[in-house]
Amino acid sequence: MPELPDITLYLEALDRHIVGHPLVRLRLSNPFLLRSVDPPIATIVGRTVHGLRRLGKRLVIHFGDDLFLVIHLMIAGRLRWRPPNGKDSAKLALARFEFPHGVLILTEAGTKRRASLTLVQGSEALAAIDRGGLEVLDATPQAFAHQLQRENHTLKRSLTDPRLFSGIGNAYSDEILHRARLSPLLLTSRMTDDEIERLRLATVAILTEWTDRLRADVGDGFPETVTAFREGMAVHGRYGQPCPDCGAPVQRIRYADNETNYCARCQNEGRVLADRALSRLLKEDFPRTLADAE
């Protein structure tokens, strides 16, 4: 799922491409993409884009008169920019926003249709969609600590909970926890003040560094390779590969459609965290330390 750095790059590219331009035509190829009925989606056709904003992991396009189109890309949704009459895979394209000078295309890979469009009118209706997560880059140390300890969860769950923190998902939470040298399963209620501040600084650093890095890659163009697996990441998507800091093999915890990647040596004193499925299968043979896994 695109996270804060990716959404930021999308917004900056959209600002260059569509703000100040009228939407002349809108075509939806999948009726289930649209999650609202009032106001009608046709209301925005002919209107000029006034501005953009981020709402957690959602993109918001303002069409004036308090009309806001909210785009949630979910896991596999992506945006493409093509010249007039530009084409994209008909199988992947769910929506085409046609402007006088080009076409914004919403695509979604795979067979599961999770991406969505929601058109709302009024600031209150827009606020109702907001999950309320803290904007970490603007937060004080006190606000960060308060938000983190509002509920007692594991660090991985807390960082990726949109009600607690805005814009952080599976990929960058792995990178943040590795930078902070903290276990993904550490409970927030057991954290020291030093650990909380270390986590805050790591969160700000990772999100800022990756936003700057992706911005340099995109330049004045449009983001075409938005992915959760980036060259240069320390642990995310690098199971079995050496940790860039200590050389120990990166470990993982698998659950549902996701997995958490971490370094047992850097983040958990060399102890391997239990993978639910694998530990149930191996039982007593499940490796508890890096030495056992070798």
- Which tens digit of pLDDT belongs to each residue from 8-37? 999 999 999 999 999 999 999 988 899 999
- Rounded CA-CA distance 169/3 in Å is 6
Cα dihedral angle (267, 272, 278, 280), rounded to 10 degrees?
-120
Amino acid making up residue 84: P
Q: In CATH terms, are 4-129 and 136-293 the same topology?
A: no
pLDDT at 47 exceeding the cut of 90: yes
- Kindly report the CATH number that applies to the domain delimited by 136-293: 1.10.8.50
Bond from prior residue into 22 cis (ω within 30 degrees of 0): no
- Which tens digit of pLDDT belongs to each residue from 58-73? 999 999 999 999 999 9
- Which helix (H) or strand (E) covers residue 220, if one does? none
- pLDDT above 90 as % of the chain: 82
Three-class DSSP category at 99: strand
User: Which superfamily is assigned to 4-129 in CATH?
Assistant: MutM-like, N-terminal (3.20.190.10)
pLDDT at 127 exceeding the cut of 50: yes
List b or e across 214-241, with b for residues whose CB sees 16 or more CB atoms inside 10 angstroms: beeebeeebbeebebebeebbbbbbeee
pLDDT at 14: 98
- Rounded CA-CA distance 82/17 in Å is 10
- Rounded CA-CA distance 129/207 in Å is 23
- Which tens digit of pLDDT belongs to each residue from 259-283? 899 999 999 999 999 765 444 433 4
- Domain segments of the chain as ranges: 4-129, 136-293
pTM for the complete prediction?
Answer: 0.91
pLDDT at 231: 92
- Rounded CA-CA distance 197/109 in Å is 38
Three-class DSSP category at 221: coil
Q: How many residues does this entry show for the chain?
A: 294
